[in-house]
Structure 1
Amino acid sequence: MSSLAQSASPASAGASVFGKALSVRKEAAQRGMSKSAVSRERAAAKARAMAEELAALRGQLAASQSRAAAAPVAASVATAAEKPRVRVKAGSAPIAAEAPAPKVGKPIAGGTLVPPEARERRARGRRFVLVGAQNNTWAHRDFIESLRVYCDLNGSRLMVSGLPYNRDGWEQPHRLTKEDDSLWYDPLVEPFMSDETLWLADSLLWCGKVATPITAADPLSGMESFTRDASGIFPHTKVAMKSLAGMKSHGARFIYTTGCCTQRNYIQRKVGQKAEFHHVFGALAVEVASDGAWFARQLIADEGGRFQDLETVYTPHGARRANVAGIVWGDIHRKHLEGGMFRACWGDGGILDTLHPRWQVAHDVLHFTGPSHHSLKDPFLQAQYYRDGSNSVEHELDGDADFFLGIERPWCETIVPDANHHCHLRRWLTEADFRKDPANARIGHYLAWRIHEAIERGENINIYEVAVREAAERKRKGALKRTRWLLPDESFEVAGVECGLHGDLGPNGARGSPKSFRQLGRRAVTGHTHSAGIVDGVWTVGVTGSLDQGYNKGPSSWSHTHCVIFENGKRQLITMQGDRWRAD
């Protein structure tokens, strides 16, 4: 065998592959071989060395497997007094000859072929109260008692879902499940536990099995399609709501969280303290009508466990009748307001007369159809408005005056925030050429003159207010004494809740959105989006006018949703189904 071949023979256990290749290169250079020959010999030597080491490793693995197979036999004849043998590798720690026994009850694999919908079933009853409860935490006893009073008086079923949370911090929260043996719940709520997936109505699913982390900043994130084309309710300590777009023939969908019936119990770090701040003693009440229509409302309790649902206050000791502080209507859009909706809200036995608020807030009463900047350049829309008679500004303002007269009550003050559709009138007066609009020339010139007159007096006027008040005065002397228009950026609070924001203008000149108003750091109720929602302390109403106003195309998240504000500052959303606002 040549010296070159000998250099590639098996080396000692401590020799490296790269050491062998280097020795080959030196010897080849000493023999005067070419550069390419050196490269070929080096590659061949490296390949042989790697193959030899791989064969050695395979031998070691086979020997290890043989010892492992023989271990059970040796263990069966060993006495209790014998110590386990160990094998020691040079330079390493002792390794037990016997493998540790697997932990009992910890499967190493799993799976199911059963789809989630196969585990869903129909709930019994037509009235429910849904709430979450944190594990290893005492219940809010007074709140539980108030909920039981509510259920007894209304024939509702109380359903509590567990919210697993690792308070000790020794284990990652995501490792806890609702089936974990270390979890327990206050005996006060144990009889009502419902960690199930239940259909409360044909289009409403109770997702009691979903264990969303209670420290989640947005507990509804990613759950938009979880209930398929139905609405859903998820247990959580934070109260939230989202409107989801649906086909216009089916209406919007909604996903809700419930609120919690257990005390605050969080790790005092940033995430835990944020969750503690947003912890709400609350529940969600659901009523299902005989025809399957359902109505969901928030039950938000004070620190004493008392809460109000519509016109009734519930306490641990009973219930009593009470009025409300205010109601914020969904954006009115009077031009598209249907008669049945008006009667349900302001007619005899309607929402206003039943709840008897001290204030009612009306957003976007003016729709401003005909000469709006949205449609002014569309000749076909203008032709349609001309045919319908809806191109007259004076006629629309006259109709708005009738509306304000119809909703006025001696015991209730009407508040009209500055809103983008109300500003359409001022924009029209600024941009329109009345020479080309004879149908509106007279009212346009008159209102423009009123603005100039106010400027000369040094006054700041709301021209929409001026127009409506004058029209109402012509119909009834001394009218609208209980109606107040707000100027731009004017604040108005009802029980500590800001109601002066329409929602179109956001901070620092940006477009408004419910999320952008969170930085105000105060509770607020806004309009504008026509899509109801709850984002932290910002609650948003829907629309009172028609859900199809011509310009909104495609799937829609609009709904007939209003917000009730109680005397203690707690709030509740009322979503109507047709012209109904509660079950039978």
Structure 2
Amino acid sequence: MVTERQQQAVEAYNDHSLTTQEAADLINMNHRNFLRMIKKVRDSGEVMLKDRKNIRQMSVCVNNDNPAAEPEIVEPAWDVEHVSQRTGKIQHHLNQTRSGRYVITAAQNATPVHKDFWIALQHYCKANNAELLVIPYRYKNVTNIHTTKDRGQEWWSAEVLPFICDQRIQINDNLVVFGDISIQPTAVNPLSGFESISQDKSAIFGHSKRQLTTIPTPQSRLPKILTTSGVCTIKNYVPAKAGKKAEFHHCLGAAVVEVCGDHVYHMRQINACSDGSFIDLNKEYTVSGVQAAGRPLAIELGDSHAFMEDRRVSIATFESDDSICAVLNPERVVVNDVLDFHSRNHHHKNDPLYNYWKHHSHTDCVESEIKLTCHYIDRIRWPVIIKRSNHDEAMERWLKEADPKHDPRNARLYHATMAQILTIHDERMAAGLVYESVDPFELVARQHLEHSDVRFLRRDESCVIGGVEVSYHGDQGPNGVRGSRKAFTRIGVKVTIGHSHSPGIEEGVYQVGVSAKMDMGYNKGPGSWLHTHCVTYANGKRTLINVIDGQWRATE
């Protein structure tokens, strides 16, 4: 008697559009157990199993006497000659000019496009003279209401067929679009295992889940970016655990790439709302057309480290008339690690040679560094939110551990700040309040700041902007664990963090890079740091903007 579970396995196995691994994934079963079950059913003779000879399948076999057949490429349901010609023209244009704007998205088989988003994408491409590329991928959904007996599931929406890209396209010397790789939309980590496949180049893969990571490269090169594209098709998944998780992380969107020569490109994320509308920079694209977008709710800068400021990044971010802030005019600017505290960093405490250098170069004065940091904040002409970060907190550690008798350069500031803190504690005790730490950086900075709209956040003080929690710096994760993008995905709310200097996207967590110099003395070997900020648009959607060679977008 064949059980219900065995019947599910047989139906998945008999679908020759799937590999045996994909068939096992479809019914949430371990691949090897799936093959054992199929062998058991075949031996029983109770159910007819289709011959998988010459069918695309995995090279894992229960019976070593019956090795898996060689993979066979299934011809896609589109005009292969047209796709090859179009891809060839795009590649030829790129080889000749190394310029242009490209919009890369993906489409699932046997699934309609999101009509309104698709129309908005067409408006975007027309308004920006952009080339649209759609990466196809396959997914077997046994409950698919869009399947017909005539077509089965081996079809793609008619709208996407003229834009299909099922081949690799080299955008420039540092970026490749992998149109020939189909990743299951239920993959939890779609970029896993692809760290080396693009060699020294960045790569874009078609997938429904938004993910981005940077891979360390030699410090003379830009870090390698791996990212997924987002999709233009509607949600269409099996109502099982893997399917429901994929449905939750389904990202209606695309990646925008602006090519600026042989080596430089600028990349941003398009994240659409449920009505298909989306914002890119200062324009909003809808089913009706193009219009001016509302002011961004916030721009969060990569970690500032004012003492180690990279002037080109500052100019491109908030100082020039064509800077990110000048063009987008955000409601507020959020900064991380604005105080580097190089002057008395505890990591230098036992290094006599470096301390000698700091002393004679006059870079060991805490108050001078705070004044420099305040000048950096004053140059940001928009309202500023300062996250409490680990480098800012280094000043508090210095006050607790330093001996001012051995530090005449900073003795006066040390005693004055400690006196202020003790006075505040006296007042709180007199009022019957509980103990709460005092931020010494804020105490001193308030004496030097000219900026009239600066908010200092306390640790764990909530600050939600457009549905995104922006209070976490990223150094401390949930329950006191070390902070990381993966750790913050577990708290179930959207967050934007900094700290690592390596930008990325993991589910609802966006991480900015750094605004300071790439070489900060302590970062050795291959690096994944990048000058990257995060924009929270008026609709609550976010994108990462990179500043490369002092530029944040392609010049018109």
Q: Which of the five TM-score ranges fits, normalised by the shorter chain?
A: 0.7 to 0.9
TM-score by length of 2: 0.80
Q: Residue deviations 1:405-441, cap 9 Å, x none?
A: 11133xxx21111110010001001100111111111
Aligned-pair distance for 1:274? Answer: 0.4
Cα distance between partner residues in 2 of 1:385 and 1:101: 75
Contact 2:313 / 2:531 at 8 angstroms: preserved in 1?
A: no
Q: Report the counterpart of residue 199 of structure 2 in structure 1.
A: 228
Contact 2:468 / 2:495 at 8 angstroms: preserved in 1?
A: yes
Q: Report the counterpart of residue 188 of structure 2 in structure 1.
A: 217
Aligned-pair distance for 1:124? Answer: 3.2
Cα distance between partner residues in 2 of 1:230 and 1:291: 12
Aligned-pair distance for 1:285? Answer: 0.4
Cα distance between partner residues in 2 of 1:251 and 1:104: 44
Aligned-pair distance for 1:388? Answer: 2.0
Cα distance between partner residues in 2 of 1:169 and 1:318: 35
* 1:298 maps onto 2:269 in alignment: yes
Paired residue type of 1:327: I
Identity of aligned residues (%): 36
Cα distance between partner residues in 2 of 1:501 and 1:546: 23
* 1:386 maps onto 2:355 in alignment: no
Q: Report the counterpart of residue 433 of structure 1 in structure 2.
A: 403
Q: Residue deviations 1:6-37, cap 9 Å, x none?
A: xxxxxxxxxxxxxxxxxxxxxxxxxxxxxxxx
Cα distance between partner residues in 1 of 2:92 and 2:468: 36
**Aligned to 1:122, what secondary structure does the other structure show?**
helix
Aligned-pair distance for 1:460? Answer: 5.0
* 1:396 maps onto 2:366 in alignment: no
2:511 to 540, 561, 565: 540
1:345 to 317, 341, 360: 317
Q: Report the counterpart of residue 18 of structure 1 in structure 2.
A: none
* 1:122 maps onto 2:95 in alignment: no
1:145 to 77, 99, 119: 119
Paired residue type of 1:347: E
Q: Report the counterpart of residue 528 of structure 1 in structure 2.
A: 499
* 1:368 maps onto 2:341 in alignment: yes
1:131 to 90, 95, 105: 105
Aligned-pair distance for 1:511? Answer: 1.1
Cα distance between partner residues in 1 of 2:343 and 2:205: 44
Matches within 5 A, 1:8-27: none
Contact 1:123 / 1:198 at 8 angstroms: preserved in 2?
A: no
Q: Report the counterpart of residue 10 of structure 2 in structure 1.
A: none
* 1:331 maps onto 2:303 in alignment: yes
Cα distance between partner residues in 2 of 1:545 and 1:222: 31
Q: Residue deviations 1:350-372, cap 9 Å, x none?
A: 11111111111000000011221
Q: Report the counterpart of residue 566 of structure 1 in structure 2.
A: 537
1:575 to 532, 546, 549: 546
Q: Report the counterpart of residue 11 of structure 1 in structure 2.
A: none
Q: Count residues with an aligned counterpart.
A: 463
**Aligned to 1:452, what secondary structure does the other structure show?**
helix
Cα distance between partner residues in 2 of 1:437 and 1:122: 63
Cα distance between partner residues in 1 of 2:375 and 2:395: 18
Q: Residue deviations 1:522-579, cap 9 Å, x none?
A: 0000000100010110110000001110111111110001000012210000011121
Shift in alpha-carbon separation, 1:105–1:259, aligned structure 2, 3 A: closer
2:448 to 471, 487, 505: 471
* 1:447 maps onto 2:424 in alignment: no
Aligned-pair distance for 1:123? Answer: 5.8
Cα distance between partner residues in 1 of 2:285 and 2:93: 24
Aligned-pair distance for 1:108? Answer: 4.8
Q: Residue deviations 1:216-262, cap 9 Å, x none?
A: 01100111111001100000001100111011001211100000100
Q: Residue deviations 1:435-454, cap 9 Å, x none?
A: 11111111111111111111
Cα distance between partner residues in 1 of 2:264 and 2:437: 48
Paired residue type of 1:549: M
Paired residue type of 1:137: T
Shift in alpha-carbon separation, 1:104–1:388, aligned structure 2, 3 A: closer
Cα distance between partner residues in 2 of 1:198 and 1:227: 12
Paired residue type of 1:365: V
1:274 to 245, 269, 292: 245
**Aligned to 1:438, what secondary structure does the other structure show?**
coil
Cα distance between partner residues in 1 of 2:487 and 2:158: 41
* 1:492 maps onto 2:463 in alignment: yes
**Aligned to 1:512, what secondary structure does the other structure show?**
coil
Shift in alpha-carbon separation, 1:527–1:453, aligned structure 2, 3 A: same
Cα distance between partner residues in 2 of 1:123 and 1:405: 48
Shift in alpha-carbon separation, 1:424–1:101, aligned structure 2, 3 A: closer
Shift in alpha-carbon separation, 1:405–1:434, aligned structure 2, 3 A: same
* 1:552 maps onto 2:552 in alignment: no
Q: Report the counterpart of residue 514 of structure 1 in structure 2.
A: 485
Gap regions ≥5 residues in structure 1: 1-92, 95-99, 113-118, 171-179, 473-478
Q: Residue deviations 1:122-180, cap 9 Å, x none?
A: 3635211000100000100111111111111111100001110001179xxxxxxxxx9
**Aligned to 2:471, what secondary structure does the other structure show?**
coil
Contact 1:454 / 1:460 at 8 angstroms: preserved in 2?
A: no
* 1:199 maps onto 2:140 in alignment: no
Shift in alpha-carbon separation, 1:195–1:123, aligned structure 2, 3 A: farther
Cα distance between partner residues in 2 of 1:219 and 1:105: 25
Cα distance between partner residues in 1 of 2:379 and 2:174: 35
Shift in alpha-carbon separation, 1:256–1:101, aligned structure 2, 3 A: closer
Cα distance between partner residues in 2 of 1:215 and 1:330: 31
Shift in alpha-carbon separation, 1:101–1:536, aligned structure 2, 3 A: closer
Cα distance between partner residues in 2 of 1:300 and 1:396: 40
**Aligned to 1:443, what secondary structure does the other structure show?**
helix
TM-score by length of 1: 0.76
2:223 to 252, 277, 291: 252
Contact 1:136 / 1:183 at 8 angstroms: preserved in 2?
A: yes
Aligned-pair distance for 1:376? Answer: 1.2
Paired residue type of 1:508: N
Cα distance between partner residues in 2 of 1:330 and 1:233: 23
Q: Residue deviations 1:480-537, cap 9 Å, x none?
A: 3211001111010111100000001111111111111111100000000100010110
Q: Residue deviations 1:287-334, cap 9 Å, x none?
A: 011454101100000011111111111112221122211111000001
Shift in alpha-carbon separation, 1:104–1:205, aligned structure 2, 3 A: closer
**Aligned to 2:302, what secondary structure does the other structure show?**
coil
Q: Report the counterpart of residue 461 of structure 1 in structure 2.
A: 438
Paired residue type of 2:472: L
Gap regions ≥5 residues in structure 2: 1-43, 57-67, 74-86, 95-99, 145-150, 429-435
> Rg: which structure is higher?
1
Shift in alpha-carbon separation, 1:528–1:206, aligned structure 2, 3 A: same
* 1:408 maps onto 2:381 in alignment: yes
Paired residue type of 2:399: L
Aligned-pair distance for 1:208? Answer: 0.8
Cα distance between partner residues in 1 of 2:284 and 2:534: 17
Computed over aligned residues only, the root mean square deviation of the Cα atoms, in angstroms, reads: 2.4
Cα distance between partner residues in 2 of 1:346 and 1:566: 17
Cα distance between partner residues in 2 of 1:185 and 1:546: 47
**Aligned to 1:515, what secondary structure does the other structure show?**
helix
Paired residue type of 1:532: P
Paired residue type of 1:233: I
Cα distance between partner residues in 1 of 2:72 and 2:137: 24
Q: Report the counterpart of residue 39 of structure 2 in structure 1.
A: none
Aligned-pair distance for 1:387? Answer: 2.5
* 1:318 maps onto 2:292 in alignment: no
Contact 1:370 / 1:376 at 8 angstroms: preserved in 2?
A: no
